[in-house]
Amino acid sequence: MSKIMRNGDLSNVGVRPRAAIALGLIGFISLAITWPLRSAQAGDFVLIHNVKTSTESVSHADLKDIAIGRKKAWSSGVPVQLVLEPPGTPEMQWFAMLTAGVSAETLASKIKQEVFKGELRRPVTVTSDKDCVSAVGNDPGAIGVVSAETAKSLPNGVTVLGVQ
């Protein structure tokens, strides 16, 4: 009843096992492609900012420039201040993908480089949504990332920042 497979020869294997292998491979590839999207979906996190930035939304290009220090001030003249969670957190991964299309570690490395060169203010590092909201509320140029749930009840002076 059982067949012996030699040197990877699948010629004696029935159609059902081949179909199962093909379906498994297709499923694995689909999961591999969509996994980053599942771990950081657009609805999971939002950008918040201090209302003193005097803007309601930013373009993707401006957001990338903010993240890597090319844009140092808001249109109101207030200096930009990033408020971020450490690399490895879902919030930072989401921010890195949204702003630059890279991993959190790659963006963190770029940020360190730009801080060292004096092109970017050192980001404020927080460890919770509560800390992020507080830090953004206390700095007129701050921008941060929080969960969509947290964004439903922001205090005065902090609001969601739209991305075009």
| Percent of the chain topping pLDDT 70 | 74
Contact 68, 111 (CB under 8 A): yes
Whether residue 134 has pLDDT greater than 50: yes
16-56 pLDDT, tens digit per residue, is 666 656 555 565 555 444 444 333 444 599 999 999 998 99
> In Å, how far from its chain's centre is CA 160?
16
Looking at residue 79, the DSSP 8-state letter turns out to be B
Distance set, CA 125 to CA 77, 82, 108, 129, 138 (Å)? 23, 9, 11, 11, 14
100-121 pLDDT, tens digit per residue, is 999 999 999 999 999 999 999 9
Structure confidence at residue 39 (pLDDT): 37
Looking at residue 3, the DSSP 8-state letter turns out to be P
Query: Which is higher by pLDDT, 10 or 152?
Result: 152
Q: Which of 119, 132, 125, 130 is nearest to 79 (CA)?
A: 119
Contact 71, 141 (CB under 8 A): no
Token pair in block for residue 8: 């990877």
Token pair in block for residue 140: 């007129």
Looking at residue 116, the DSSP 8-state letter turns out to be H
118: left (phi over 0), alpha (psi -120 to 50) or beta: left
